[in-house]
Amino acid sequence: MKIASILENQKIEKRIAITPEIAKKYISLGLEVSLSENYGSHLGIKDEEYIKLGASILKDEKEIITNTNILVQLTLLDEDKSSLLKENQSFIGVFNPYDNKDKISNLVKKNINIFSLELLPRITRAQSMDILSSQANLAGYKAVVESFANFEKAIPMMMTAAGTIPAAKVLVVGAGVAGLQAIATAKRMGAIVFATDVRMASKEQVESLGGKFLTVEGTENLETEGGYAKEASDDFKKKQEELLSETLKKIDIVICTALIPGKKAPLIIKEDMINNMQSSSIIYDLAAIQGGNTAYTKVDEVINKNGVKIMGESNILNKLPTSASNLYAKNVFNFVSNLYDKENKKININLDDEIIEKTLIK
């Protein structure tokens, strides 16, 4: 059995799916590992590191794709490369099936086993494979670091003989994995942190990290069985707007993390709210790629509205590619280990296994 990975389009994605540590684990599992030339060189990983562990480095990506049983990537291949995939091959990655229906449908018709890991169920057994959580953790951290780097004032309170500098006030919108990490990071750096979320279960988590949870009067618990946020009612949105409008007037930095799986990101911070914010404030919108949580968010642009900077990147994890790759590769290895029948040396697509059934696109 062979497992392989080729280099992603570097303009879009700098993460890799197989690190040297994980290549060694695949080989221990009984799999042959094939990678494209200079696979990890942009992360400071030389081909020789993989070769010493027993992996093969090949120049011809076509040969890699056509001869492997399992191909692991971050994103979908371009059309020329995906056309090389054959019946019964397994293709594993983060494929955003809601936005890539046609491309994925064409692969399914060829009887290729496509596993999209963002569809993993929120169950205990799947935690070690949970790519959304591992990557969101890093994204929440990096969003705070990027925001603070662009904020032209000190973050913690500083008492000096010349006077006192007040601590920066940070608002985190959405207290999922990314939001909670943003709260923890901002608190560690000395900020006063507020947070809001449609899921009432988040209140205790926010407060345990030292944040102040902003509660909308008459709050509904808008949480799905899988632990994700669901869309709020019009009445809730109106009350949330009123609370946010007042809060944002005294906030220095906003980190937006609110997402609804498979849908456009909810518009939470509107034009009039931004117009009333303090000049020199920062908004970092982690939901930019799905439309953004603010009225002015544009992907990979810094928008300046009355002195308020609104930032949002297509892939913030490209700024932490080594750490993100290490976690992603481990998540994928755990998924493959569950999929691979070591005794019979074959892929076992057991649809009675919730992990396999939920992630397999049919």
Per-residue pLDDT tens for 34-91? 999 999 999 999 999 999 999 999 999 999 999 999 999 999 999 999 999 999 999 9
Which strand ranges, in their side-by-side order, compose the sheet holding 308-312?
212-213, 192-196, 169-173, 253-256, 282-285, 308-312, 301-305
Q: Are residues 314 and 336 in the same domain?
A: no
Question: Quick check: pTM over 0.85?
Answer: yes
**Residue 102 falls in the annotated catalytic set:** no
- Catalytic residue, chosen from 15, 130, 134, 325, is 130
Both structure tokens of 171: 């608002």
- Give domain status of residue 216, yes or no: yes
The rounded distance, in Å, linking the Cα atoms of 80 and 210 is 50
- Give domain status of residue 166, yes or no: yes
Closest CA to 261 of 107, 94, 16: 94
Strand (E) or helix (H) holding 16:
none
Q: Are residues 9 and 83 in the same domain?
A: yes
**Residue 228 falls in the annotated catalytic set:** yes
Q: Are residues 165 and 292 in the same domain?
A: yes
User: What CATH number does residue 235 fall under?
Assistant: 3.40.50.720
Q: Are residues 164 and 296 in the same domain?
A: yes
Residue 80: the pLDDT is 92
Residue 225: the pLDDT is 55
Residue for token digits 């056309």? 83
Q: Are residues 236 and 305 in the same domain?
A: yes
Q: Are residues 63 and 190 in the same domain?
A: no
**Residue 205 falls in the annotated catalytic set:** no
- Catalytic residue, chosen from 47, 128, 228, 245, is 228
Residue scoring higher pLDDT (335 or 259): 335
- Catalytic residue, chosen from 28, 41, 105, 127, is 127
Neighbour-count burial for 11-25, b at 16+ CB within 10 Å, e otherwise: eebbbbbbbbebbbb
Q: Are residues 45 and 159 in the same domain?
A: no
Count Cβ atoms within 10 A of the Cβ of residue 139 and give its class: 0-12 exposed, 13-18 middle, 19 or more buried. Answer: buried
- Catalytic residue, chosen from 34, 73, 90, 133, is 133
**Confidence at 109, pLDDT banded by 50, 70, 90:** very high
**Residue 127 falls in the annotated catalytic set:** yes
Q: Are residues 158 and 112 in the same domain?
A: no
Domain of 74 in residue numbering reads as 2-119+321-361
